[in-house]
């Protein structure tokens, strides 16, 4: 069984995000970029499936500018077998990404597609669900634990009330949550080997997908600064402030 893993290039989670001076978007020039943390978890889970003998090949896919190949190389250094870059100078929206992945699924015929539950840049949390709808596949979102059982996948997922286990017939789309696993670090020898692993390159046009934006960003602004808190003398004063100043009760 082949596993297709979607990986995204985002601003590193340790970097403080800054808004451009013209408020047209987020500043990315000379900013450290890395793989989306949820996608690292997706790569790790795919590798564990291969190590357990339930998967035969792990293919990492990234969509975006040429520099996205660095993100793919990171996945290859972790242990993925090969990569696919769909180059687009325009950042695709979730629906366009889902359509591109659907086209690649038709080419690659994987048994499972794994992606992070959301990107830490846009926080859309839409691509996996849209992909499953386009393919007509079962989906397991916010995965907490995965177990392959023959032609089915047992997906334990986090819900408001605790945990829920779904038994899904493959092929299936899975999105990963934080507690699914702890991603491995790529060793130096594996980083060197990753440079020799194959990577195919396509464009959205090659796959018959239109990535024209459907949403126009009018303005991006930083959130207002948080005001300093105050220490109240007793519960009565607290309730008075909540009632009359904050007006939350």
Residue that has been written with the tokens 């003398």 in this structure: 233
How does residue 129 score in pLDDT terms, banded at 50, 70 and 90? very high
Contacts of 165 (CB under 8 A, 6+ apart): 154, 155, 156, 157
Burial 135-149 (b: 16+ CB within 10 A, else e): bebbbbbbbbbbebe
Distance (Å, whole) CA 63 – CA 89: 10
Question: Does residue 116 sit within a domain?
Answer: yes
* DSSP letter assigned to residue 134: H
Q: Which two tokens stand for residue 219?
A: 């303005």
Contacts of 154 (CB under 8 A, 6+ apart): 145, 146, 147, 148, 165, 166, 167, 168
Residue that has been written with the tokens 């696993």 in this structure: 181
Give me the mean pLDDT over the 90-111 stretch. 94
Query: In what helix (H) or strand (E) does residue 47 lie, and over which residues does it extend?
Result: helix 37-51
Question: Does residue 22 sit within a domain?
Answer: yes
* Count of structural domains, the chain: 1
Q: Which two tokens stand for residue 17?
A: 């995000």
Q: Left if phi > 0, otherwise alpha if psi is -120 to 50, otherwise beta: which for 239? A: alpha
**What are the pLDDT digits (tens) for 184-201?**
998 899 999 999 999 999
Distance (Å, whole) CA 136 – CA 146: 20
How does residue 91 score in pLDDT terms, banded at 50, 70 and 90? confident
Q: What pLDDT is attached to residue 135?
A: 97
Distance (Å, whole) CA 178 – CA 182: 8
Question: Does residue 204 sit within a domain?
Answer: yes
Residue 18's domain comprises 2-244
What's the CATH number where 201 sits? 3.40.50.620
Q: What pLDDT is attached to residue 223?
A: 85
For the ranges 87-91, 105-109, 124-128, which has the lowest average pLDDT?
Answer: 87-91
The CA radius of gyration of the chain, in Å to the nearest whole number, is 21
Question: Does residue 249 sit within a domain?
Answer: no
Distance (Å, whole) CA 73 – CA 199: 9
Give me the mean pLDDT over the 21-37 stretch. 90
Distance (Å, whole) CA 48 – CA 41: 11
Instruction: Please give the share of the chain, as a percent, with pLDDT higher than 90.
Output: 73
- Compute the half-sphere exposure of residue 131: CA atoms within 13 Å on the CB side of its CA: 32
Distance (Å, whole) CA 58 – CA 78: 11
pLDDT over 90 (residue 127):
yes
Query: In what helix (H) or strand (E) does residue 100 lie, and over which residues does it extend?
Result: helix 94-108
Give me the mean pLDDT over the 136-149 stretch. 94
């Amino acid at each position: 069984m082949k596993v297709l893993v979607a990986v995204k290039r985002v601003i590193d989670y340790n970097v403080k995000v800054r808004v451009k001076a013209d408020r047209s978007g987020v500043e990315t020039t000379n900013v450290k970029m890395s793989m989306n943390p949820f996608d690292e978890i997706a790569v790790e889970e795919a590798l564990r499936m291969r190590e357990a003998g339930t998967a035969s090949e792990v293919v990492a896919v990234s969509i975006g500018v040429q520099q996205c190949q660095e993100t793919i190389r990171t996945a290859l250094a972790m242990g993925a077998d090969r990569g696919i870059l769909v180059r687009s100078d325009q950042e695709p929206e979730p629906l366009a990404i889902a359509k591109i992945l659907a086209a690649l699924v038709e080419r690659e015929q994987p048994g499972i597609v794994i992606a992070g539950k959301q990107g830490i840049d846009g926080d859309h949390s839409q691509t996996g669900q849209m992909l499953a709808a386009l393919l007509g596949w079962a989906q397991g979102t916010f995965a907490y634990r995965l177990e392959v059982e023959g032609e089915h996948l047992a997906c334990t997922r986090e819900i408001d009330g605790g945990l829920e286990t779904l038994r899904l017939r493959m092929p299936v789309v899975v999105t990963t949550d934080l507690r699914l696993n702890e991603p491995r670090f790529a060793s130096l020898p594996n980083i060197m080997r990753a440079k020799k692993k194959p990577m195919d390159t396509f464009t959205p046009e090659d796959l018959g997908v239109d990535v024209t934006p459907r949403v126009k960003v009018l303005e991006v602004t930083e959130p207002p600064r948080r005001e300093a808190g105050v220490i109240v003398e007793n519960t009565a004063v607290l309730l008075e402030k909540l009632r009359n100043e904050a007006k939350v009760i």
